[in-house]
Amino acid sequence: MKRRTGRGRTLLLLPILMLAHGCGTPGGTPRVAPGTLCVTCGMEVRDARYAGASVEGRSVRPYDSIECALRDLSTTNEPSTPRARARSLYLADYATGALHRSDSLWIVHADIASPMGGGLAAFLDRAEAARVADAREGRVMPIDSLFPPLEATP
Ligand SMILES: [Zn+2]
């Protein structure tokens, strides 16, 4: 007769909930309140899902849409301007309406009713971006394809 020596298994259940995942940005993420005027087109920010802002020192330039951010930065972000290098861009995550640094986002160009009609929206989650792009006959683009890197990274 064989005897088994059952070895007790110990399950170490780690409290995963303890893994807090929020690290704040030192400079702080700008806020674009509804009703703020877009610096590019002068219209009010109505839908937080499309909003954005560029930050340069203490100056914040709010946008009602990604299209307006594009237009503003393409006209003011001249390489010869040293100030431009200190600028950073924040865009809203379409899913939540919260602003995030643009380099953490994906851009979807699709049949989306964005304020300026360009069909652009930004997403923090690439899978969500792909889902919306699929559903609305669009495509996912890396942010760099739209906005060249704004900050000098020597
Ligand atoms: Zn605008």
Rg (C-alpha) for the chain, rounded Å, is: 21
**Confidence (pLDDT) at 14:** 38
Domain ranges of the chain: 33-145
Report pLDDT digits (tens) over 85-116: 457 899 999 999 999 999 999 999 999 999 99
Compute how many other C-beta atoms are within 10 angstroms of the C-beta atom of residue 77.
18
pTM here?
A: 0.74
Pairing of β 59-63 and β 52-56: antiparallel
- How many Å lie between the centroid of ligand 1 and the Cα of residue 68? 5
- How many Å lie between the centroid of ligand 1 and the Cα of residue 72? 9
pLDDT by residue, tens only, the chain of 154 residues: 556 655 555 444 433 333 333 333 446 899 999 999 999 999 999 999 999 999 988 889 999 999 999 999 887 555 555 444 457 899 999 999 999 999 999 999 999 999 999 999 999 999 999 999 999 999 999 988 887 665 544 4
Element (H, E) at 74: helix 66-76
- How many Å lie between the centroid of ligand 1 and the Cα of residue 73? 12
